[in-house]
């Protein structure tokens, strides 16, 4: 098809390369064809990835037998480099999008090259994605060495890039590998270096090369020897190397088994054998010098079961009727409770008071406490801001909650919030979403789960705040019914 015919039909058919797109785009701009009038079609073409492909003679690429009208296309060097890089980004509308950018630039909209512009932001993002893929391919391509009798190429690698970056990566390895012959195969194309020239063809392999590589075997032996199951952190491993690269890395074949072994006990005993082989020496201890087991604390002021006491004003015990039918359990004291030494006296306590009254209950006949007895906070300016207690702190304070449950012997426990529910059930996996609104039996008593009053204060929407408050009232009414004599 000639350039004139392509322009007349308002479409551009071209081989899948930046050079042919640029030639076609130049003709379209010369004839004033707007982006919405152009239908871009990619043609799967083989040939050399590294040749400066001319439009003529490339399948259905736009031909230039007849020159178009005189036309001056002036594009900044920075934009041209950005377009060329973004052209490697494998998105369905890349050629149409790049032409829109070029059209806007040609018509004086130079902001299109700025990240502040919508198209400019997308263009920059595409270029960054390509640059990141080039970096990843440099880092994660792994060559296997073939036997000398197999002939060239000496080294073979398989990679599955997300974008069309094979030419740029091939140039990198051409300089890095020197005179050694090598080949990199991908699902879309293959590039080979014969020591003097780069050659490209279509896809040759469908997976990693099945090659016995003595060097790779040595590397895997070394990798196993330095693997320490006691220091395994799978999240860090996945953060350093994205999961899509693992399947083509040599160590990717052995890492899952080693992670499984670590989870099944090797993590605990990873260094036990080496430690047990050390001779050391025995230190005799006389029975009278041994420290006896310490008694549990009898008051909150003596409690050192966790570190929260260090930054709290005081421990805040539960309060209420000694034989209350209903016990309310919150999360922890707040700023005002920490100062006053009494539970639920701050803003959340005031809201709870209103909910208790609306539910037809008398606070004096209830027992009110918290899962954690010391205020956990972090400084923010001059204020002490609440910080959710860690599970180890909830577990440390369960000693006090169990004592209160045994002493008060309530028929119903109302868990105010997720932390309270986990403490009451002694189950770190318990979730408020699964338990809210439906009472259930636990350890011979009813448990009713609902929101913590502070949640109803924090919700930004007035309607949502009212719904949360109503849910607390309904939970207290249900507790009143279950705890009735």
**CA 485, CA 481: separation in Å to the nearest integer?**
9
- Write out pLDDT tens, residues 103-131: 999 999 999 999 999 999 999 999 999 99
**CA 213, CA 191: separation in Å to the nearest integer?**
21
| pLDDT (0 to 100) of residue 59 | 29
Closest CA to 132 of 51, 244, 22, 250: 244
| pLDDT (0 to 100) of residue 238 | 67
| pLDDT (0 to 100) of residue 64 | 37
Cβ neighbours of residue 167 under 8 Å, at least 6 residues apart?
Answer: 49, 50, 191, 200
- The distance of Cα 143 from the centroid of its chain, to the nearest Å, equals 30
Domains annotated on the chain, with CATH: 3-134 (no CATH), 141-226+240-257 (no CATH), 300-482 (3.40.470.10)
- The string of DSSP letters for 30-82 reads HTT--GGG--EEEE---S-TTS---STTSTTPPB-SS--S-------HHHHHH
| pLDDT (0 to 100) of residue 48 | 52
Cβ neighbours of residue 189 under 8 Å, at least 6 residues apart?
Answer: 49, 166, 200, 201, 202, 203
List residues bridging with 40 in a β-sheet: 12
Work out the pLDDT band at 316, boundaries 50, 70, 90.
Answer: very high
**CA 399, CA 381: separation in Å to the nearest integer?**
34
| pLDDT (0 to 100) of residue 8 | 46
| pLDDT (0 to 100) of residue 152 | 85
Tokens of 407: 């002493």
Work out the pLDDT band at 12, boundaries 50, 70, 90.
Answer: low
Query: What is the Cβ-side half-sphere exposure of residue 187, based on CA atoms within 13 angstroms?
Result: 5
**CA 154, CA 191: separation in Å to the nearest integer?**
14
**CA 435, CA 71: separation in Å to the nearest integer?**
72
- Write out pLDDT tens, residues 127-178: 999 999 999 889 888 888 888 887 888 888 888 899 999 999 999 998 888 8
The alpha carbon torsion through 251, 253, 255, 258 (nearest 10 deg) reads -130
State yes or no: pLDDT of 270 exceeds 70.
Answer: no
State yes or no: pLDDT of 273 exceeds 90.
Answer: no
State yes or no: pLDDT of 66 exceeds 50.
Answer: no
Work out the pLDDT band at 43, boundaries 50, 70, 90.
Answer: low
Tokens of 41: 């079609």
- The string of DSSP letters for 156-191 reads EEE---SSS-HHHHHHHHHHHHTT--EEEE-SS-EE
Kindly report the pTM of this predicted structure: 0.47
The mean pLDDT value for 19-33 works out to: 89
The mean pLDDT value for 300-304 works out to: 87
| pLDDT (0 to 100) of residue 60 | 33
Closest CA to 6 of 35, 36, 38: 38
The mean pLDDT value for 432-437 works out to: 89
Quick one: 235 exposed, middle or buried, by C-beta within 10 A (0-12, 13-18, 19+)? exposed
Tokens of 81: 């480099």
The mean pLDDT value for 301-309 works out to: 89
Comparing 265 with 194, which gets the higher pLDDT? 194
| pLDDT (0 to 100) of residue 452 | 95
The mean pLDDT value for 50-70 works out to: 39
Cβ neighbours of residue 294 under 8 Å, at least 6 residues apart?
Answer: none
- Write out pLDDT tens, residues 322-371: 999 999 999 999 999 999 999 999 999 999 999 999 999 999 999 999 99
| pLDDT (0 to 100) of residue 245 | 76
State yes or no: pLDDT of 263 exceeds 60.
Answer: yes
Neighbours of 356 (CB within 10 A): 22
| pLDDT (0 to 100) of residue 57 | 30
**CA 137, CA 245: separation in Å to the nearest integer?**
9
| pLDDT (0 to 100) of residue 331 | 96
The chain-wide mean pLDDT, for the chain, equals 82
Comparing 19 with 57, which gets the higher pLDDT? 19
| pLDDT (0 to 100) of residue 1 | 43
| pLDDT (0 to 100) of residue 289 | 64
Quick one: 335 exposed, middle or buried, by C-beta within 10 A (0-12, 13-18, 19+)? middle
| pLDDT (0 to 100) of residue 403 | 93
State yes or no: pLDDT of 50 exceeds 90.
Answer: no
**Percentage of residues in the chain with pLDDT exceeding 70?**
80
Lowest-pLDDT range, 22-31, 216-225, 381-390, 434-443?
Answer: 216-225
| pLDDT (0 to 100) of residue 177 | 85
**Percentage of residues in the chain with pLDDT exceeding 90?**
47
DSSP H or E run through 384: strand 383-386
State yes or no: pLDDT of 384 exceeds 70.
Answer: yes
| pLDDT (0 to 100) of residue 196 | 87
- Write out pLDDT tens, residues 194-253: 888 888 887 765 544 456 666 777 777 777 776 777 777 777 776 677 777 777 777 767
Polymer length in residues for the chain: 485
| pLDDT (0 to 100) of residue 275 | 54
Lowest-pLDDT range, 26-30, 124-128, 142-146, 399-403?
Answer: 142-146
Work out the pLDDT band at 55, boundaries 50, 70, 90.
Answer: very low
Comparing 71 with 443, which gets the higher pLDDT? 443
- Write out pLDDT tens, residues 446-472: 999 999 999 999 988 899 999 999 999
Comparing 317 with 64, which gets the higher pLDDT? 317
């Amino acid at each position: 098809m000639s350039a004139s015919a392509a322009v007349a039909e308002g479409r551009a058919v071209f081989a899948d390369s930046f050079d042919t797109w640029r030639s076609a785009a130049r003709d379209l701009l010369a004839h004033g064809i707007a982006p919405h009038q152009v239908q871009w079609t990619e043609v799967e073409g083989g040939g050399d990835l590294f040749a400066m492909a001319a439009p003529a003679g490339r399948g259905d690429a736009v031909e230039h037998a007849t020159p178009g009208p005189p036309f001056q296309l002036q594009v900044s060097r920075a934009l041209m480099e950005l377009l060329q890089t973004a052209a490697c980004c494998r998105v369905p509308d890349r050629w149409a999008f790049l032409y829109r950018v070029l059209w806007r630039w040609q018509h004086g909209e130079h902001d299109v090259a700025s990240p502040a512009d919508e198209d400019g932001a997308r263009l920059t993002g595409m270029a960054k994605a390509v640059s990141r893929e080039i970096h990843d391919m440099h880092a994660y391509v792994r060559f296997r060495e073939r036997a000398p009798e197999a002939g060239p190429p000496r080294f073979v690698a398989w990679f599955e890039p997300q974008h069309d970056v094979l030419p740029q990566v091939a140039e990198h390895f051409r300089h890095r590998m020197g005179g050694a012959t090598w080949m990199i195969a991908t699902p879309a194309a293959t590039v080979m270096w014969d020591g003097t020239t780069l050659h490209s063809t279509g896809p040759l392999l469908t997976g990693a090369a099945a090659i016995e590589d003595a060097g790779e075997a040595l590397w895997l032996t070394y990798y196993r020897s330095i693997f320490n199951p006691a220091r395994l952190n799978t999240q860090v491993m996945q953060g350093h190397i994205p999961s899509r690269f693992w399947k083509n890395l040599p160590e990717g074949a052995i890492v899952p088994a080693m992670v499984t072994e670590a989870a099944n006990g090797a993590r605990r005993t990873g260094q036990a054998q080496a430690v047990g082989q050390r001779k050391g020496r025995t230190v005799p201890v006389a029975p009278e010098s041994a420290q006896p087991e310490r008694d549990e604390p009898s008051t909150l002021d003596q409690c050192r079961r966790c570190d929260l006491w260090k930054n709290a004003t005081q421990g805040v015990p539960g309060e209420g009727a000694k034989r209350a039918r209903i016990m309310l359990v919150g999360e922890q004291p707040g700023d005002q409770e920490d100062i006053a030494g009494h539970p639920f006296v701050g803003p959340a306590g005031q809201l709870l008071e209103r909910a208790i009254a609306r539910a037809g209950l008398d606070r004096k006949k209830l027992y009110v406490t918290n899962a954690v007895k010391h205020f956990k906070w972090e400084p923010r300016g001059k204020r002490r801001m609440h910080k959710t207690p860690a599970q180890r702190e909830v577990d440390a304070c369960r000693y006090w909650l169990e004592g209160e449950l045994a002493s008060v012997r309530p028929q119903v426990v109302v868990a105010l919030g997720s932390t309270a529910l986990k403490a009451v059930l002694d189950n770190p996996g318990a979730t408020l979403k699964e338990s809210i609104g439906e009472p259930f039996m636990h350890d011979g008593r009813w448990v009713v789960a609902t929101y913590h009053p502070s949640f109803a204060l924090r919700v930004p929407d007035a309607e949502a705040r009212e719904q949360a408050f109503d849910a607390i009232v309904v939970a207290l009414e249900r507790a009143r019914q279950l705890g009735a004599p």
